A and B are shown apart, each in its own frame.
Chain A
Amino acid sequence: MLFNSLHFAIFLPIVFLLYWGVTGERLKIQNAILLIASLYFYGAWDFRFLFLLTFSIFLDYYTGIKIYQSKEISKKKFWLWLSIIINLGFLGLFKYYNFFVESLSDALVLAGIKLNTSTLNVILPIGISFYTFHGLSYIIDIYKGRIEPEKNFIDYSLFVSFFPLLVAGPIERATHLLPQIKKERVFNYPLAVDGLKQILWGLFKKIVIADNCAIYADEIFNNSESLSGSTLLLGALFFTIQIYGDFSGYSDIALGTARLFGFDLLRNFAFPYFSRDIAEFWRRWHISLSTWFRDYLYIPLGGSKGGNWMRVRNTFIIFIVSGFWHGANWTFIGWGFLNALFIIPSILKKTNRTNLNIVAQGKILPSPREFFQMAMTFSLTVFAWIFFRAENISHAFSIISEIISTSLFQLPYFPEIGSTGPLFILTIFFFLVEWVGREHQHALQAFKHPDRKVARWAFYYIIFFITIFYASSASEKQFIYFQF
């Protein structure tokens, strides 16, 4: 079920009313309602993969208890590695098997050996990367003694499968979400209202900005061989805006939906395109994944404690693994590698924690220096996204070589360029609203002046109608991160 579908628009109010309408043993029933709703939400996409999800839940629930109960460290390790191997085994089978087989085959061909290989014709279960990481963080935290295992199976199942975060995150931690699941929840009016605003803004980002940018980005990337450098750069810009609108839009809808049910999920985006350096960008982009890799990979590898060599090595490892997490394609690895290259200088110079505050905090405009820093950082991310979007590495290099040729100075042209005017205006509006709201959890939180109710409502209506306008005239498009 997609957040931007009529199905979800009917599903959400029903679950909401059932959830808050229960009396008696409130918490148990509420959690059961959410679990059933979550399984329905997931099963609406493809019920067959419910078995895989259920197996993953059983596995981590059971191994979590076993790790905790084992007195000997060797047994604890056994259960931990059993869970890790099975979890990553499923992920590897569904997501990476074909990639490894094809890469091995290609490598052997280069060495003059022809191998008869067969790839699997499997569908990637939606959200597998996300719920696998939920489960992994849970058992690692138990092994490290940070948490005790959850005894209540329903509560644990809800932690893994809570529908707002099930298919594309944010990647939650047991330390953060489980206590909320266990705690009695009372309806919180400001939280619910804020949730609705966040959902509205998320839908706007996805349907109006991302889906429209996708039309032009796809057009340009799919016909890149016949287009000028300036047009390809425009295509990269479209994709840069598309992926932010798509994924942060999804996250806003997820967080907003969770708020309607009284939950506060981990923040996933903090206005990353207003970052002044790459390190800041990575503190603001897909935060739940970045911190996951920091806590469960970077720090166990030694983090920043060792010398320069160790820091450089660990940085490359987490960025390349992060790229690989996105999908079985060398383009994602290239994207991760490139980001590691961008961030290494600041790590070596120890300037990676320079910009911890919000840009131009308390001011209307950034200083010229801040503006220049933001523009530079944005340019680097646009460059890196070319790898993320390209079909393969050679496609990415062919686009880059055209961009750095003299055709960069031609006027951009592609057949649909004449129809980009409305999107251009809407994108400016979008970035203005994001800029105004950058000191808040989400952009629309900035619009809460109690004396300007009419203006606020008018503003919400405008956003709503623009969103509905684009939603009605286009088919429902899947979120990019569903494929990861």
Chain B
Amino acid sequence: MRLFLKYVSVFVLGIILIVVILQCLISYRIEGKTLTGHDNLDLTKNINADLLFLGSSRTWAHFDPIFFDSTFNLKSANIGVDGHSELSMATTRLNHYLQNNQPPRFIILNIDPFIYKGSVHNNTNFLYKDVFARYAFLPKEENKQIVDYFQFTQPEKYIPLLSVFRYNLLWDILKLKPGSTPYEKYGFAFHNEQWDTLYWPPSKENMKFYFKPAHIPALKAELSGINLFCKSKGIKLLCIQTPVYKVIYDSSAFNQTGQMCKESGIPFIDTNQESIINNIQFFYNSNHLNRRGIDEMNKILANNQMLHKFLAP
């Protein structure tokens, strides 16, 4: 019996040793790098941007830092989070950024009828949780808020390799991206492709995600809170509403966002102009612009006096 227990213990110790060594090697390998491009927490450390883009995938895929840098003579970065239209994620991501950088001078928050309040402590949106699982094991102080936001479990935080295995990160860790695309450098993911309307026919489906009138007071309060927070840090906040394809465009809903910003004391720009929203060639799906669409939107922004005034030194 003793011999049996001895060998079982040795085997288990061997497992622990291997697991710890592998986890150390993995942590060393991915430190400061990105696996998918979405996990850019390390990449946005110590960049001290002047202008920050905040919001959902419609931030992430629409705001090109290179355009803003050259047009407005600034240093900008995009920290939009794919799949997360809730304002609670925007604030969580902003907090992470501020822990690792000087506060920016400006923040552009993407706003549209798809936003919702969300909750930092009781988040219910776990889209792309797997992407952030690399930060789960023994989370650094600066990453704790994001890790808690996705509600990683205690075993995932303290058992080596568990989060790597559970969220299938091994292959991504092995093939590790070089980190040279604009997406990986600036957090901006542009899409060159055209909308495949045969596979994804235009539909009004996304309109069901519009916020409801009952949600407006809470959203206004949240926006005012973000505005106050920015003011306390000396940051100027601007909201921009980026274009959607006409099938999901309802002017009454899209006008409400402007009204909310006005009532929250936040300047607002709407880029939903007919020249863009009526042209399917500018989209890769109903609510995301492709490269041509972004260029078109940038022309509008480049000529927008309000934006020039806002971003003036």
Interfacial residues, chain A to chain B (CB-CB below 8 A) = 20, 187, 189, 192-193, 196, 457, 460-461, 464-465, 468-469, 472-473
Contacts and interface: CB of A to CB of B under 8 A. Distances in A.
A460 to B, nearest CB: 8
B229 interface: no
A405 B210 CA distance: 50
Contacts of A472: 161-162, 165-166
A355 to B, nearest CB: 38
B165 A193 contact: no
A189 B18 contact: no
Contacts of A193: 4, 7
A381 B116 CA distance: 55
A457 B4 contact: no
B72 interface: no
Interface string B3-46: 11001100100110010000000000000000000000000000
Nearest to A190: B4
Nearest to A472: B165
A461 B14 contact: yes
The secondary structure that dominates the B interface is helix
A65 to B, nearest CB: 37
B225 to A, nearest CB: 38
Q: Which 5 A-B pairs have the closest CB atoms?
A: A472-B165, A472-B166, A187-B1, A469-B165, A473-B168
A461 B18 contact: yes
A187 B4 contact: yes
A187 B5 CA distance: 12
Contacts, number: 29
B195 to A, nearest CB: 21
Contacts of B158: none
B7 A473 contact: no
Contacts of A468: 165
A460 B168 CA distance: 22
Contacts of B4: 187, 189, 192-193
A442 B15 CA distance: 24
Given A187-B1, A473-B168, A196 B8 contact: yes
A20 B1 contact: yes
Contact of B166 (A192, A196, A473): A473
Interface magnitude class on chain B: 10 to 19
A472 B170 CA distance: 12
Contacts of B8: 196
29 contacts: A20-B1, A187-B1, A187-B4, A189-B1, A189-B3, A189-B4, A192-B4, A193-B4, A193-B7, A196-B8, A457-B11, A457-B14, A460-B11, A461-B14, A461-B15, A461-B18, A464-B15, A465-B18, A468-B165, A469-B165, A469-B170, A472-B161, A472-B162, A472-B165, A472-B166, A473-B165, A473-B166, A473-B167, A473-B168
B24 to A, nearest CB: 16
Given A196-B8, A468-B165, A469-B165, 11 more contacts: A20-B1, A189-B1, A192-B4, A193-B4, A193-B7, A461-B15, A465-B18, A472-B162, A472-B165, A472-B166, A473-B166
A469 B1 CA distance: 30
B9 to A, nearest CB: 12
Contacts of B168: 473
Nearest to B155: A6
Contacts of A464: 15
Interface string B69-98: 000000000000000000000000000000
Contacts of B18: 461, 465
B13 to A, nearest CB: 12
Nearest to B156: A472
A193 B6 CA distance: 12
A419 to B, nearest CB: 11
Contacts of A187: 1, 4
A187 B4 CA distance: 10
A468 B155 CA distance: 14
Contacts of A457: 11, 14
A465 B170 CA distance: 12
A460 B3 CA distance: 18
Contacts of A469: 165, 170
A34 B18 CA distance: 34
A187 B2 CA distance: 10
A52 B138 CA distance: 47
Contacts of B1: 20, 187, 189
